[in-house]
């Protein structure tokens, strides 16, 4: 079984272009859990379309799975297909849209991740913090990989052991003004009795330090 929670806040922005998913189910008698954070590109009027569509379609993909065979690579392929669908639907609607995507899939004691953009996936184990993704950002600060723009999409893919780790998926609205020591201290004892405590403490920390962007994150671990 998995323990998870999450939140998506509009904060000081005119709208919330982030989308968040955290869901679990049994697939062919195997426990599985999917968490996704997408951050729509705010400079585009339709930025939220890519984020919302990606989360909706990944949720549908996860709900339809009948086997966990090669599931990580199949998730990567699903995101590539979803990217093409977003591009097609956006063209039909005459909108410009783009979004980051950070997706984490847990199957029993293993994790699989797919990522593009500058949202992030962290892991915390024994008080040590590790960033599992790299920001796809140029030296000028512009995104270099994201969904909804081009069919020739570069995706980061990783897999590993999940046992004993807490995973944090988040948009840049959470980590830009976050102190990593504070984050680790706040999360190292996260569990059933403190399930929703970080939903208040982590956003409050960055908002007090001037964060105005949308703030979205999900926490996941094996229960």
**pLDDT by residue (tens digit) across 41-80?**
977 778 899 999 999 999 999 999 999 999 999 999 999 9
Q: What residues in the chain have per-residue pLDDT under 70?
A: none
Residue 44 has what pLDDT? 76
Q: How far is CA 207 from the centre of its chain?
A: 20
- Report the CATH number at residue 105: 3.60.40.10
Residue 45 has what pLDDT? 76
Strands (E), the chain: 2-9, 18-27, 30-39, 101-107, 110-116, 120-125, 128-131, 156-161, 166-170, 215-222
Nearest to 86 by CA among 150, 19, 22: 150
The domain total for the chain is 1
Residue 188 has what pLDDT? 87
The rounded distance, in Å, linking the Cα atoms of 175 and 85 is 30
Residue 187 has what pLDDT? 96
Domain that holds residue 163: 2-222
């Amino acid at each position: 079984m998995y323990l998870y929670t999450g939140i998506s806040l509009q904060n000081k922005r005119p709208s919330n272009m982030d989308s968040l998913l955290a869901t679990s189910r049994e697939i062919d008698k195997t426990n599985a859990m999917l968490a996704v954070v997408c951050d729509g590109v705010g400079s585009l009027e339709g930025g939220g379309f890519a984020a919302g569509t990606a989360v909706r379609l990944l949720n549908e993909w996860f709900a339809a799975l009948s086997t966990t065979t090669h599931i990580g690579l199949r998730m990567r392929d699903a995101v590539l297909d979803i990217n093409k669908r977003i591009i097609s639907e956006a063209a039909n609607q005459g909108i410009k849209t783009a979004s980051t995507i950070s997706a984490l899939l847990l199957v029993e004691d293993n994790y699989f991740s797919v990522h593009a953009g500058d949202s992030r996936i962290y892991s915390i184990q024994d008080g040590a913090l590790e960033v599992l993704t790299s920001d796809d950002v140029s030296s000028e600060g512009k995104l270099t990989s994201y969904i909804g723009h081009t069919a020739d999409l570069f995706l980061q893919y990783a897999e590993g052991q999940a046992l004993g780790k807490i995973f944090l998926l988040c948009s840049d609205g959470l980590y830009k003004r976050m102190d990593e020591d504070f984050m680790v201290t706040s999360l190292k004892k996260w569990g059933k009795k403190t399930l929703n405590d970080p939903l208040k403490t982590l956003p409050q920390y960055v908002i007090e330090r001037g964060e105005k962007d949308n703030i979205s994150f999900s926490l996941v671990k094996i229960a």
